[in-house]
Amino acid sequence: MIMGKGRLILTDRAQVYLVPGFFGFTALGSLNYFQGVRQLLAERLAHYGMEVDLHEVETMPTGSIRTRAVRLLELIERTCPAGHSDIHLVGHSTGGLDARLLATPGVKLLPGVREAAVGERIRTVQTLSTPHFGTPLANFFSTLQGRNILYLLTMLATTVPGRYGIAAAAQLLAAVAWLDDFVGQRETFLDLLAERLLRELSVDRGHELWEFLHEVGQDQGAIIQLTPESIDLFNAAVTDRAGVRYVSHVSAAPPPLHSLRLSDFDSLYTPLAMLVYAVVHRVAAQQNRSYPYPSPSEKLRLELAERLPIRVGPDTNDGIVPAFSQLWGEIGHVAYGDHLDVVGQYRRVYNGRAYPGWLKSGAQFNDAAGYSLWDTIARVIATQS
């Protein structure tokens, strides 16, 4: 497999691109967006007799869908020259919209016919937890309060005093993560952040965190574009390409406190994590009256109800994106997990290291659930190559 940037592939092996979502990154410090996904997907594809080259796309975290699609296009051009290899796109969250836009017949992202040359070789577009019809959380970030939060982050990242302030706060949090070990608070989310990001944070502007926040400040177009109002226009213009198999994989998590167990209270920070999940889940459950999600057929609604242990309705969501907003084309896997569980950010032991997970949804997503999801994604790729 190709690991570096800009290397040409003179092979007919299929090329698979993993596209991160809103606020997405390939690596931030030692944190990885698709945690363990690359290895798992490669194993499942090998099981189905496929040798592929897997790529994780470096994207703009909050950039417009068009800007993000251009980054995807440019990576494909660098790693998969014209005339070689089938292309398969797997987009998580906003990454699914990037993939749909790039695959659209006649789309013009850059001068020339570069998009057409790539589009002709796309065989599958798989979306995972993607807001095809928007998410109410985007409406929050488009408010004055939401924009002020992003403005503050970027201001801190782009000034020397701001970077010193964040770095000092990071070291303080890292010290707290070390001290709480003495009261039995080991392998918490704060420990993970301290180990993978906070302890190595410096004021050097070249650090990945400052670059990440700088890009947030440069382009926040996706915030507006992910609102139900804007996605309505996106869907009117972005059409499916003939011959491409479109499969959407859906995630849904329980309402706050619905499925929590005593074992979930594994640290002093659990109540705060639960509060964060409760807030985002509640916001994501608010459907826009003027731009409602398409109501699934009775057959599909029953299918979703059979696969999920919770009531299914317009307010069902994964903590970030409503389940009905995730439906596009053929329905693939339905995961009982939150928005970040499905990209490997769940409570588990991986490579001998305990990971606490990001959201406290209580969905109890586990290795078996992750295996089933990414095995389904691998089978879609294998059957279209």
Q: Are residues 230 and 290 in the same domain?
A: yes
Does any domain span residue 71? yes
Task: Name the one residue in this structure whose structure tokens are 């030692």.
Answer: 30
pLDDT at residue number 61:
78
Does any domain span residue 8? no
Q: Are residues 193 and 242 in the same domain?
A: no
In angstroms, how far is CA 200 from the centroid of its own chain? 24
The residue from 218, 252, 277 where one domain ends is 218
pLDDT at residue number 2:
40
CA-nearest of 212, 250, 232, 235 to 326 is 250
Which DSSP category does 322 fall into?
B
The residue from 169, 187, 218 where one domain ends is 218
pLDDT at residue number 330:
94
Instruction: Name the packing angle between helices 160-179 and 144-157 (round to 10°).
Output: 90
Q: Are residues 158 and 124 in the same domain?
A: no
Q: Are residues 335 and 364 in the same domain?
A: yes
Q: Hey, what amino acid is at 94?
A: T
Does any domain span residue 343? yes
Tokens of 335: 């995961």
Helices (H) and strands (E) in the chain, counts: 14, 10
Q: How far apart are CA 141 and CA 227, in angstroms?
A: 10
Total number of domains constituting the chain: 2
pLDDT at residue number 367:
95
Does any domain span residue 2? no
- Average of pLDDT values for 63-84? 88
Which range of 126-135, 139-148, 178-187, 344-353 scores highest in mean pLDDT? It is: 126-135
CATH number at residue 35: 3.40.50.1820
* More confident call, 188 vs 56: 56
Average pLDDT, the chain: 81
Q: Are residues 160 and 113 in the same domain?
A: no
Q: Are residues 98 and 203 in the same domain?
A: no
* More confident call, 265 vs 3: 265
Q: Are residues 92 and 233 in the same domain?
A: yes
pLDDT at residue number 91:
97
Where does the pLDDT of residue 212 fall: very low under 50, low under 70, confident under 90, or very high at 90 and above?
low
pLDDT at residue number 175:
52
Q: Are residues 132 and 30 in the same domain?
A: yes
The H or E element spanning position 211 is helix 208-218
Instruction: Name the packing angle between helices 94-103 and 65-79 (round to 10°).
Output: 70
- Average of pLDDT values for 6-16? 65
Q: Are residues 246 and 358 in the same domain?
A: yes
Q: Are residues 97 and 66 in the same domain?
A: yes
pLDDT at residue number 268:
59
- Average of pLDDT values for 21-39? 78
Count CB atoms within 10 A of the CB of residue 10: 8
The residue from 218, 237, 258 where one domain ends is 218
Range of the domain at 248: 14-137+221-383
Query: Looking at the predicted structure, is the pLDDT value of residue 118 above 70?
Result: yes
